[in-house]
Structure 1
Amino acid sequence: MEKETKAYLYVLTCADGSLYTGYTTDLKKRLATHQKGKGAKYTKSRLPVELLYFETFSDKSSALKAESQFKKKTRKQKLAYIAEKSTPLDLDSFL
């Protein structure tokens, strides 16, 4: 049986106000990569980016499914989802 690894769905706010959604197994490392302009072509031209939201999953497959579903939402739906799910300690306790 495979050892399950934590995975994260994350949402960034880009300098132009747009949102970027992704998944990773190492959130701190992925954020640092984005900030260096190496995380994704989309965010490279929209620096700096800021972590707006993240969710933790028990495995990569669950995180990828959540990412796919999240990306299908409109911006308004994404922001409503984040507002509903977020707590003030989410980001502060992780970073």
Structure 2
Amino acid sequence: MESLYYISLNIKTVSGIDSYATYNLGEDREKAIAIFNLLKGSSNLSEHSVLTMDFTEMRDGIPFPIIMLDCTFQEVVYNTKVITREIFKNLNL
């Protein structure tokens, strides 16, 4: 079975971490990694991290987290633009 790659956007709330968006990057590992490498954020997470983006591989129905970024609000906005642009290019070009 093929792997599926995706990026989840998460926010820390009073009740814990909630995922509020997911971007499907497809089955091509190299393209998915290339997209994630364009994103801004820090891999240094702390208890103060509020907005995060997870890069995950789904294999045989089991999620395998690859890396997580701690992002500012401005970085989430920038990253969303990048992800949308790259997904558009991959699907249409």
| TM more than 0.5 | no
- TM score, norm. by length of structure 1: 0.33
- TM score, norm. by length of structure 2: 0.34
Identify, as 1 or 2, the structure richer in helix. 1
